[in-house]
Amino acid sequence: MIEAAPQKSYTAPNSQIHAWAIGALASHCLIQTFGQAGNIFTIGFGISPVVIGWAMMLPRFVDAITDPYLGHLSDETHTRWGRRKPYLVGGAVFGAILMAAMWWANPHWSQTAQLCYLASIGTLFYISYGVYTMAWTAVGYELTDDYHERSRVMMWGSVALAFVALGASWCFRGALLPVFHGAIWGMRWISAGVAVIVLMSAFTAAKFCKERFTHANREHVPLLPALKSAIKNRPFVILLLLKLSDTMGGRLAGAMMGYLGLYLLCSGDKVLSTTLGGLGGTIGTVCTFAILPFMKPLSVKIGKRAAQIMGAAIGLVSAILSPFILMSGRPYLSLIPILVITPMQSVAFTLGNAIVPDICDVDELQTGQRREGLFTSVMAFMAKMEISLCTLAAGYLVSFSGLNVKLIHQAPHVVHNLFWMAIPTALFFAVVSLILTILFPMTEASMTEVRRQLDERRKAQPEAAPVDEGLTGAVASAQREQEPVLA
């Protein structure tokens, strides 16, 4: 008896994968442009870091609360255009408008008025950005079932991120060009151009990407039970903690590093500091492009888990060496770690995103539901809560250091305080990240078994709609009785 060949895993055509990657430009352009507000409004407007901390924290906090509901709603949405595309288009349009509107705050307003304006625009912006990113990410998770192909798909998203990060690294420097007559007018023109890019890339993704699970989840599951089942997924919880550690380390230490770069390395020279940032972004982008083609081979050779452990270990070594690199009068020395750190961050980001579809497979085995939107939005909820708290905490830490943003040169004790706030923070969270990557349980072998069970179930349900590669609610109750492969 001849044994049947194993079923080939589904992978979308390259045209759809590339269209989805173009859609990444919208997601990254929105958040990277908004992210310029911290430095530009403090240095350009002279607003207190504490005020900016609150203005940046409140929108993320409100958006974080709405994210799980909107993600779950998209999983349960059924329209003639699919589950995700209405959110994809609506989020991009409103996000582009609000991102451009943010820069029309008036520097002559009182700080209370500036806080109210930025917080209001920021809240609406973050909700729009969250809606778009949730829908775009969920579409990406549907593009392939193959364990290693998921790394390749996410690699294309990282390519778009590298391009956007390169532009963002020069954004502040570009806004200072004499033609704009000041950083604020510079950002107004730049944000208008970015808004056009956002709309074009989002519409490309909506036009050419096909949804596979438009017929999934016909049996409605309320939000709270869905959330409870999601947080019982052990690999998902560890991934959330890993993201928490990376965010806390990157944001808290990064905020101090930004001011250290200006006042310690560059002695208050904004042109040198922004040029240094642009060069760092350029070097990081080149290094990222150099490593991205090896993302799938890396996944095949050593596995996603081992690659993340390697990245976390290199991050720890970099944190240990950072005190010897941040030296006054030697600003260009700080560019050296970028040669290693940025590529490793790209590896961790890409493979981390490639793990989420695997988690969705485990969840489908447990519940019979395809819930990419829910898992994406819960991750977004955690990320925004973390970023909100980090932004607020960073504002208070900078203020506690004694820094005065209106001064070109800071007192030695201020720079000393910033230094010893940044280094221990970076070290602590680098250690935590390494421990969590070691504890992560999912491997290629375990996911191969998960896919085998899912494929067998789908074969046993010939009545399922062909367009729906997932499982319908008609078999959900039977599936819940089977123990998952991963606890």
The string of DSSP codes covering 417-444 is: HHHHHHHHHHHHHHHHHHHHHHH----H
This prediction's pTM: 0.61
Is 93 a residue whose pLDDT tops 90?
yes
Confidence (pLDDT) at 377: 76
The pLDDT > 90 percentage for the chain reads 4
Confidence (pLDDT) at 485: 36
Distance CA 206, CA 201 (A): 9
Distance CA 363, CA 482 (A): 12
Distance CA 289, CA 163 (A): 9
CB contact set of 328 (below 8 Å; sequence gap of 6+): 264, 265, 267
Structure confidence by residue, pLDDT tens digits, 13-60: 888 888 998 988 888 888 888 877 766 777 666 677 777 777 777 777
Distance CA 376, CA 243 (A): 13
Is 116 a residue whose pLDDT tops 80?
yes
Structure confidence by residue, pLDDT tens digits, 340-392: 676 776 777 677 777 888 888 888 887 777 777 778 777 777 777 777 777 77
pLDDT grade, residue 195 (50/70/90)? very high
Confidence (pLDDT) at 465: 42
Out of 31-45, 173-187, 275-289, 433-447, the most confident range is: 433-447
Q: Encoding tokens for residue 5?
A: 């060949």
Domains and CATH numbers, the chain: 15-209+223-457 (1.20.1250.20)
Confidence (pLDDT) at 201: 92
Return the HEC string of 176-223: CCHHHCCHHHHHHHHHHHHHHHHHHHHHHHHHHCCCCCCCCCCCCCCH
Structure confidence by residue, pLDDT tens digits, 265-322: 777 777 787 787 777 777 777 777 777 677 777 777 777 777 778 778 887 887 888 7
CB contact set of 383 (below 8 Å; sequence gap of 6+): 64, 243, 247
Q: Encoding tokens for residue 372?
A: 């990419």
The pLDDT > 70 percentage for the chain reads 84
The string of DSSP codes covering 257-296 is: HHHHIIIIISTT-HHHHHHHHHHHHHHHHHHHHHHGGGHH
Distance CA 121, CA 115 (A): 10
How many Å from the N-terminal Cα to the C-terminal Cα in the chain? Answer: 36
Three-class secondary structure of residue 11 per DSSP: strand
Confidence (pLDDT) at 203: 92
Distance CA 133, CA 198 (A): 12
The string of DSSP codes covering 118-166 is: HHHHHHHHHHHHHHHHHHHHHHHHTSB--TTHHHHHHHHHHHHHHHHHH
Q: Encoding tokens for residue 391?
A: 């932004």
Q: Encoding tokens for residue 331?
A: 């600003």
Mean pLDDT of 318-335: 76
Please name the residue that has the structure tokens 């040169």.
Answer: 409
Amino acid in position 239: L
